[in-house]
Amino acid sequence: MPPPPLLQRAALQRGAALALWSLVLLRSSVDGRLDLLLRAIYHPLVALAGVLLFGLALLQLGLALRDATAARERAQRRQTLTLLVTTAIALALLGLPPAPSFADLAGQRPRDDTAASELSFVLPPAQRSLTDWVRLLRSQPDPLLFEGDPVRISGFVLPVTGEAPQLARLLVRCCLADAAPVGLPVRWPAGATPQADQWLQLDGVMAVETGSGGRRLVVRPRSIRPIPRPARPLEP
């Protein structure tokens, strides 16, 4: 049986599809989109899988051109359909990078309620991140302990029903699917109109305010500076 025309060879099509999927993983590793999707500890695994898949794709393509058995393999209808659909999805992944709304995601998730495993007392207050502050307050809930401490934190604006917007971060253990928000209440100055999802850096002090739920700590900003989204927004 003579080998089918080049474009109809199943091994060649499969090699091309595998190459496309390796491109998805490799491009995700270099263009920064992984920073929006996965915790940094998993990034090398994705890159390694991309390299491995690329090697397999090259091997498959080489065999499709040189090996007589592979060259004679024709694609069956089901395989062609699988190839077409997976190729379309890989192209969509390459063409449409993720652009999640952190505020929208955080609004649907319960708050992270883990306390600090390593308490941040050792850090000077101005060096504590937003996550450090939230966990510290959970471990030491007396707000008077921290009144007047200097604060320098960054995060995105998270609208809260019935309250002023908070400054928040998403905590991720593995990927965006398990993200849980942590947030700090802010006493916004008159005239400030923080927009949902906007990234801000606040410099100010911790203040105690008394509300219906008792005393709580709020950030009283002295300066509010819009900042671009950090390169790794899912890291604490």
User: Binders of another protein among 21-40, rule CB under 8 A?
Assistant: 21, 24-25, 28, 33-34, 36-38
Token pair, residue 173, equals 């253990």
12 binds another protein per the rule CB under 8 A: no
Q: Which is nearer to another protein, 105 or 224 (CB)?
A: 105
Gap between the Cα atoms of 62 and 67, Å rounded: 8
Q: Which of 52, 126, 160, 227 lies at the binding interface for another protein (CB under 8 A)?
A: 52
The answer to whether the beta carbons of residues 154 and 92 sit under 8 Å apart is no
CB of 115 to another protein, least distance (A): 9
Task: Give the distance from CA 90 to its chain's centroid.
Answer: 20
Please, what is the angle between helix 77-95 and helix 10-30, to 10°? 20
User: Binders of another protein among 110-129, rule CB under 8 A?
Assistant: 110, 112-114
Residues 6+ apart with CB under 8 A from 103: 156, 157, 158, 159, 168, 196, 197
Gap between the Cα atoms of 33 and 229, Å rounded: 13
Question: Site map for another protein, 60-89, x if CB under 8 A?
Answer: x--x---x-xx--x-----x--xx-xx--x
58 binds another protein per the rule CB under 8 A: no
Gap between the Cα atoms of 53 and 105, Å rounded: 32
Q: Which single residue is written with the structure tokens 């410099």? A: 203
User: Binders of another protein among 177-196, rule CB under 8 A?
Assistant: 177-178, 180
Total of residues contacting another protein (CB under 8 A): 60
104 binds another protein per the rule CB under 8 A: yes
Task: Give the distance from CA 9 to its chain's centroid.
Answer: 39
Q: Which of 1, 96, 144, 231 lies at the binding interface for another protein (CB under 8 A)?
A: 96
State the distance between the two ends of the chain, measured CA to CA, in whole angstroms: 61
Interface residue list for another protein (CB under 8 A)? 10-11, 14-15, 17-18, 21, 24-25, 28, 33-34, 36-38, 42, 45-46, 48-49, 52-53, 56, 59-60, 63, 67, 69-70, 73, 79, 82-83, 85-86, 89, 93, 96, 98-101, 103-105, 108-110, 112-114, 171, 173-178, 180, 197
